[in-house]
Chain A
């Protein structure tokens, strides 16, 4: 079973990200489960969502305590929450930022992870360019596909189209592909 945990703030599409990821896995014939973990709906409040992917039925209902991959949609969360809690030794870390891990002050955490398992990508900027809105979620899924291989980029594309049909889906897909290319060349 693969477990992904996504951290962000309300309004950034954290919950949709988990949903799209689960749809992508489903389209590949896998079993998937996406669950949000949130409080009262409020823009800007920390939000966590989980996604599990497996070849067999997923019965587990606990929160994702030991993620195989962590997506940080908002690096300002480092101060507020221990986002890295439980990340596996060989886990993947994907951060939405234009800064380096040193600048973010997390180089120690990062050092523990294997080569190629850490990726920073300015997803919000990419989203603003293609989608014209600061919604980095679809973009980050493109990058996730590149660095982890948990799901294929084509599945991500189809999932985005399913969730956001029409023009909105198209621009998100374009942004996701850009992220995919960028993350692929990095690692």
Chain B
């Protein structure tokens, strides 16, 4: 049979795996010899975005580093559901120290490896948004400014989920959490608060900053691959929906993540040394209500036109700031 150029219209879709692609173009997840660094048997909730994101990211990092990887993990959901004594779901060397010091611990590991001449063993620090944007912020900034050779991965589920869904500085405006309850006309989380750690990471001028989402595996893996090809401080924030904390059907994790990106609420982009180098265009723009109405944490917002408008404003502002609409207008 002769070679035939077949047009695969489904390439470039967000389908994980893409078994019709050449093997080099397939995702790590689609390969039989994926390391399964975060192995099955862990105790995550059904539909947990973080469990998915962590496996995707670490497996990609393992391939990129030829399985020479050490991870430092902050306290949080990921740490708790992967290491219920006496078991561990990790197949890589892994250390959990404290809530706020994952980046510092990683710095220490990187220093030790450097001294020992282990140039090919790489280090990842990982934690949830709480451990990253709040309590771990000081250590994170220190690691960035020293340009330590660490990739920090933040699994952003927009709240302190492990302790019962409390607000973090990554919690979006309007969201209900146990510490930002919408009461009467008051919104859930305040709209004029919060911080963007990716932008702050960019302000540190580090070699690579990127955001990614569990709904687009190829993109996530490519970014991990790229990150591991660079030396110095790198930051990757992965959007990981939390069915329990956000109040949605556990089967809808990917869909929720997709809509967050397609509405503009979670911009997906890359930056190097403080300048944006690429952003993922929105394929089919989603109105924020479509995204919000699937999550019980936003029930209050939907009843309040004012708050709804505020959310839309955030989306529109992101679209403008990060150039998320292609010139064609976003419909393919």
Chains A and B in contact, CB within 8 Å:
no
**Interface of B toward A, CB cutoff 8 Å:** none
